[in-house]
Amino acid sequence: MSFRFILLSALAALVLAQDVHCARVVACKGEAEYKTAAAADWKRLKVEDAPPLANGDEVRTKRAASVEILMETGSRVRVGASSGLKISGENTSKISLGLVFGKLRAWVKKGSGNFEVKTETAVCAVRGTEFALEVDPQTSNTQVDLFRGTLAIQDNLGNEMTLQEGNRLSVTPEGFGAQQQISQALENEQSSNKAALSKEVGLAMSKEAVLSAAAEEIKLAEYQQGKALVDVFGNRVQLEEYVMRPAPDQFKLVVLNKRESRLDYFFYKGTFNTTLPGDLSAALRQLGGAESAPTWYLTSYQTGRSNTSDSVEENASGGHPVDVNANADPADDVASYFDSATDRFVGVSGTYYKTLFDNYSIKYNGTQTYAWAPVAPNVQTYLAADITTSILGGSANYNIDSSFPDGTYLHNRIRETYGVGDDYTQYDNYVMDNDGQVANVTDFAGVTTGPQYKEALLNWNFQQVITSSFFGDRKIDLVVEPKILIQSGLVQ
């Protein structure tokens, strides 16, 4: 935040200190928090018990949340998702708000006095109008959309201009951009989004589309690995893997397997609660759980496996950290965990946080076989009281069997059956070397520490073969090299 923004907010607070009026929260959707000027801690915001908002108070929203605030003058503002707003000053003659980051939409009542919104790069002064602001937390750029009325804007350099109704303006730390019609800007955004989607590896893509999209994504990859090997069936595989950031709060792992007559691929895209750090592994290593509330946690994820004809798709949303040692499900309790920093198992005597997801589903060629949804948002356990489970054919006909059909060789088979017919899905998981030889448990004898485990993994690969009644006589066959998982922090 710029010194100029802080100074303006402080001056406004001093001038209005003797004439304080309060704004009221009239609607709150999703998870939001507030903090008073005199307090250091943020509190959960609920309409029914929200206090009036006075000068210096702040509101912030999480993903998929919004808050509507009614001013004493009759004007109102809606704070969008992932946004932060500060009441710099509010009385019957002037309203001053600070949009720190995110989105805001305002409906300013005529005759309500001066109304202004400040960002790090712009000051918008209005009278009887409807407008929207969006502040990019990475660049501090401010986007202004004026739907009705007039809007005077001042940039960070002291320049002023009037935005025309129906137009959009971008204000950067370097000054004003060009005005353009909102309708044209939205049309350009839609075209850009479609182009971006066509360049992202996803499901329902042809072999050519996958390879083309991967070629674009690899240009932005933070980690990348590749090699040629032989799978457990004696087929030569060209393996490519990369990790990238599609957005500031996302990471994506993609695995490509090219064989002579086929292409199989896998992707995992996770969205976090906030912007990821420069060192991606710092966030990824928290995914397994921690004794204190995590700084970064997944709010949603999607996985996809495909052979360009068949697909397996997982989706989870509503992720939130829960102290599982304090919830009502003993099955969630964690007594110890492996701490890679100290290279030993650590006993847990108190709290242990893991991410629980409100919603989950898995589909095979579009057929959903298993899913859950919350009875109420923000689930604390996966007991019947918290979730409603949906199973193909009903829970009485759902079964999972796990076995090691090759004795001491590391070949694990998991078979799921559904319904009353012959529907099934089978996962055959192998640990094998570059020549396709399946590992034996004796190959990991003497591996007792984290560094030894990671060193041993570098000599092996994972292969997963998925067969299913939904695939006919086809299969999805994927080989993964652990090295990129260790580099990125997914394996500790």
449: pLDDT strictly greater than 70: no
29: pLDDT strictly greater than 60: yes
Residue with tokens 């912007």: 275
DSSP code string of 368-403: EEEEEEESSSS-S--STTTEEEEETT-GGG-EEEEE
Residue 58: its pLDDT value, please?
93
DSSP label at residue 290: B
Decide: helix, strand or coil at residue 366.
coil
- Residue of 317 and 447 predicted with greater confidence: 317
Strands (E), 286-339: 298-306, 311-323, 336-339
Decide: helix, strand or coil at residue 460.
coil
Residue with tokens 């674009």: 216
DSSP code string of 398-434: -EEEEE-TTTTBSEEEEEEE-SSSS-EEEEEEEEE-T
State pTM to two decimals: 0.60
Domain boundaries, the chain: 3-192, 201-488
- 34-57 residue pLDDT tens: 999 888 889 999 888 788 888 899
Residue 22 binned pLDDT confidence (cut-offs 50, 70, 90): low
- Region 12-19: mean pLDDT is 33
**Fold annotation for 3-192:** Jelly Rolls (2.60.120)
7: pLDDT strictly greater than 50: no
- 152-162 residue pLDDT tens: 999 988 899 88
| Length of the chain counted residue by residue | 492
Q: Partners of 267 in the beta sheet? A: 254, 304
Spatial neighbors of 302 by CB under 8 A, at least 6 apart, are 267, 268, 269, 313, 314, 315, 316
Residue 125 binned pLDDT confidence (cut-offs 50, 70, 90): confident
**Under 8 Å between Cβ of 329 and 381:** yes
Residue 409: its pLDDT value, please?
94
Gyration radius (Cα) of the chain, Å:
27
Spatial neighbors of 377 by CB under 8 A, at least 6 apart, are 318, 358
- 171-188 residue pLDDT tens: 998 889 888 888 777 666
4: pLDDT strictly greater than 50: no
Helices and strands (H and E) in the chain: how many: 6, 33
- Six-digit token string for 188: 């350009």
**Under 8 Å between Cβ of 272 and 284:** no
- What backbone torsions phi and psi does residue 257 show, to the nearest 5 degrees? -120, 115
Residue 421: its pLDDT value, please?
75
Percent of the chain with pLDDT over 70: 87
Residue 1: its pLDDT value, please?
32
Q: How far is Cα 60 from Cα 25, in angstroms, rounded to an integer? A: 12
Decide: helix, strand or coil at residue 71.
coil
Q: Which helix (H) or strand (E) holds 358?
A: strand 353-364
Residue 343: its pLDDT value, please?
60
- Six-digit token string for 365: 């060629």
Q: Which amino acid would we find at residue 61?
A: T
Asked which of 216-230, 353-367, 399-413 is least confident by mean pLDDT, the reply is 216-230
Residue 420: its pLDDT value, please?
72
- Region 63-76: mean pLDDT is 84
Based on the number of CB atoms within 10 Å of its own CB, is 127 exposed (0-12), middle (13-18) or buried (19 or more)?
middle
Based on the number of CB atoms within 10 Å of its own CB, is 122 exposed (0-12), middle (13-18) or buried (19 or more)?
buried
Decide: helix, strand or coil at residue 225.
strand
Of 310, 146, 281, give the one whose Cα is nearest residue 222: 281
Q: How far is Cα 180 from Cα 420, in angstroms, rounded to an integer? A: 60
462: pLDDT strictly greater than 90: yes
Residue 188: its pLDDT value, please?
65
Averaged pLDDT of the chain: 84
16: pLDDT strictly greater than 50: no
- Region 50-74: mean pLDDT is 86
* Region label for 24, one of left (φ > 0), alpha (ψ between -120 and 50) or beta (otherwise): beta
DSSP code string of 431-458: EE-TTSPBPBGGGGTT--SHHHHHHHHT
428: pLDDT strictly greater than 50: yes
- 360-397 residue pLDDT tens: 999 999 999 999 999 999 999 999 889 999 999 888 88
